[in-house]
Amino acid sequence: MFDPTKFTTTKAKPLPVFLLLDASSSMSGNKIDDLNKAVKVMLNTFAEEEKMEREIPVSVITFGNEVNLHVSFTKASQVQWQDLQANGMTPMGTALKMAKAMIEDKETTPSRAYRPLAVLVSDGQPNDSWERPLEDFINQGRSSKCDRMALAIGHDADEKILNRFIEGTTHQLFYAENAAQLHDFFQYLTMSVTTRSRSNNPNEVPAASEISLDGASIHAKPQANGSRQTAAKSDDAEYF
């Protein structure tokens, strides 16, 4: 007897991207405008990838006047972007706690997902307690398995914290002094994710040398050994 349930297609595994974005008062003006533009370009590129049976869910957490889940765990092609507004202080520690809680929750970030990318963008210094949340994020539980990138905007960004966030990854800290450099960072981020989504093992993070940015004014250099970050489990296994 004909059974239509035998002809189901395999559902694409999600490759999650978590953005932790500084929306404090110091980001007002051109900084926040340029950040909004860069994120929208990224989302459009991810949406194009999803047309090819790939799934790139995006979560956006902002920290400024308050810590806000600006975009919940949503496929890039379904995100209805609302521009960020800059105000308030820099509660980065609380933002890290929220991001970790989302990653640890298997109903929010499913076990079948590929290795997530967590991205921290800031132009200043935290005004809350950040030490323990940062240590927990990079060393404890499921969040410790994330790939991590960081961008320092301007001269006042706390490089020590941002460098600590990417410790153990193959990435260097990115810097942006203008709109072009901020755009280049998000272009690099986007190309890293799309390269992974097309690879045989999307849990493996491509080396910086494999990502070229035409005309870019910033770039990430590979570590001395040029190594990749490789997942501990096979492509067919649950990563978390």
42-71 residue pLDDT tens: 999 999 999 998 999 999 999 999 999 999
In the sheet where 67-75 sits, what is the strand order?
A: 67-75, 57-63, 17-22, 117-122, 147-153, 174-176
- Which residue intervals of the chain are DSSP H helices? 30-50, 92-104, 131-139, 159-165, 179-198
pLDDT, tens digit, 9 for 90 and up, residues 182-200: 999 999 999 999 999 999 9
DSSP state letter for 172: P
Q: Please, which pLDDT band fits residue 12 given cuts at 50, 70 and 90?
A: confident
**pLDDT value of position 225:** 38
Mean pLDDT of 103-130: 96
Residue 233: the pLDDT is: 45
Q: For residues 96 and 81, what is the distance between their CA atoms, to the nearest angstrom? A: 22
Q: CA-CA distances (angstroms) from residue 204 to 39, 159, 234? A: 23, 26, 10
- Give me the pLDDT at residue 216, please: 47
Question: What is the average pLDDT across 127-139?
Answer: 97
**Cα(114)–Cα(176) distance, integer angstroms:** 29
Instruction: Specify the pLDDT at position 1.
Output: 76
Residue whose entry in the numeric block shows the structure tokens 């109903």: 107
What confidence category does residue 6 fall into, taking pLDDT thresholds of 50, 70 and 90? Answer: low
Least confident stretch, 58-72, 92-106, 127-141, 201-215: 201-215
pLDDT bracket for residue 118 (50, 70, 90): very high
Residue 104 pLDDT exceeds 80: yes
pLDDT of residue 207: 86
Pull the structure tokens for residue 223. 């570590």
Per-chain mean pLDDT for the chain: 89
Burial 156-182 (b: 16+ CB within 10 A, else e): ebbeebbebbbeebbbbbbbbeeeebb
The DSSP code for 52 is: T
The confidence score (pLDDT) of residue 235 equals 45
The rounded distance, in Å, linking the Cα atoms of 59 and 97 is 14
pLDDT of residue 9: 59
**Backbone phi, psi, residue 177, to 5°:** -105, -10
State what percent of residues in the chain have pLDDT above 90. Answer: 80
Cβ 70 vs Cβ 52: under 8 Å: no
pLDDT tens string 136-181: 999 999 999 999 999 999 999 999 999 999 999 999 999 999 999 9
Distance CA 220, CA 186 (A): 12
Q: What are the distances in angstroms from CA 214 to CA 116, 184, 218, 223?
A: 26, 9, 10, 21
Domains of the chain from N-terminus onward: 12-210 (3.40.50.410)
Whole-angstrom Cα distance, residue 159 to residue 146?
20
